[in-house]
Structure 1
Amino acid sequence: MKKVTIIKVGGAVVESPDSLEAFLNNFVHIEGAKILVHGGGRSATAMAERLQIPTKMVDGRRVTDENMLEIVTMVYGGLVNKNIVAKLQCKKLNALGLTGADMNLIEAHKRPVKDVDYGFVGDIDRINTDALMALISQGITPVVAPLTHDLKGNLLNTNADTIAASLAVGLSAECDVDLYYGFEKNGVLKDANDDHSVITSMTTRDFEILKTSGAIHSGMIPKLTNCFDAIAQGVRRVYIGHVDNINHLDRGTHLHD
């Protein structure tokens, strides 16, 4: 069974030249097939400000009207994605920048309006695993921007954590998948103010207990929810930890059922 490593990295890393360079130097040394999923929210907000387009966030999620959809398409699918691809080519790693629309990679639907109308935000329906496998088998590294598409031809802004989990689930039937969420902390922490208080192993039950107690809150909740959703759907190895440790997955938090 083919081994595939999927790394999701946040905008804070890819938007700083120094941190991006350090991350990519580590990324190219991951052995075997790999996929990179990236964010870029800060760059999108900065571009919106330059163009005098207001940014609206609800519970940490970007409301994406028609103007903001144009911004995130330009920034995620263009500026951030192609900057990463160019730097990987410089490091002799053959990469291909993709959105969900390319090769019909990720089909989604516009999120239904409940309490909040998030606009052109997508919830994922299907992953084109054949397309991914075709690229990987040719030694190509997909670099996936957080954009999907629907069957009406609309682009949709889609959470990068969710995309990474969905790609891992889609490939897990055919591949041995490692899924790693890299961010600025050493892992899931017992104490948010102590970077050394890493919880090295966490189950679904642990997550529910820590969430109820308030030890885990805010943006960590949806991130960990994506992790455990992936595990529930067949991804055997999921980790979360510092972006510098992508070559040492066991240094973060190992999530399992």
Structure 2
Amino acid sequence: MAIANHMNIANDAHDARNALATPPSDPGQNTGDDSILWNGSPTPSCSCMQDAVRVIQQLDDDEFGITSLSLDQVLQLQKWMIAQCCKPIDCVNCVHLSAIHTVLLIIADRLTETFECLHRRIRRAAAGLSDHQSSLPNALTPSEIDEPTFPVDTRAQLFCNSSGIAASSSMCNNQLFSAEFRAQYSDEEQVHMIRVLLKLQIRNFRNLLSRIDSVNQITGSSARRSKIRALVGRLGKSNTDIEVALQAVLRTISGP
């Protein structure tokens, strides 16, 4: 039976995907009248700080509707966020600025949380498949599945605009892929594809944290570097948890 029938807790994430397809309006286009001073000199051509702060604002306002996105759409968002974080590291004006690295670590913290949320999504989907596979052979609606409860994460920084609560505690779209992709691939293919994409995304994020850490070896404090190590640890745990959850989904699909 198709994953779409078992894991659908949202009517359609198509609108959310369209919103992401034109990713978040390029923050760099809206520099306003605020000039950022680098070492006392205005550099109006450099928008790294404005761009990075804009990313945080978009996440805090839930402009992307993160709980409504399918997993592949969340991966698109993560990829965009990583690219935004790389810009100031590649900028000669910004690479050694403590203020920039503070903002980057805030974004990195949000990114880490998205991986933790993805693990919860997959785990919920696996639990729903296991509990309802034999008793509910037809398409499942959100009201037919009691979503497993998870302890409230007091560290949560991502909140759902529609529910007003932490994204990790909200009802999420459990689809692995958006509608057009689901029509092209089997259940097993979807799981294997999302597994590979997640591994690549985690690797890219780990590389970003490594780059930030390398720069902070020169200019950063020990406290800042400890924060980076903590994020790496959380990411590693999410990587393990995601793999376990995906294996559970595969076992359910394959049957005894």
- The interval holding the TM-score normalised by the smaller chain is under 0.3
Q: Which has the higher helix share?
A: 2
Q: Which is greater in Rg? A: 2
Q: Which has the higher contact order (CA 8 A, sep 6+)?
A: 2
TM-score, normalised to structure 2's length?
Answer: 0.27
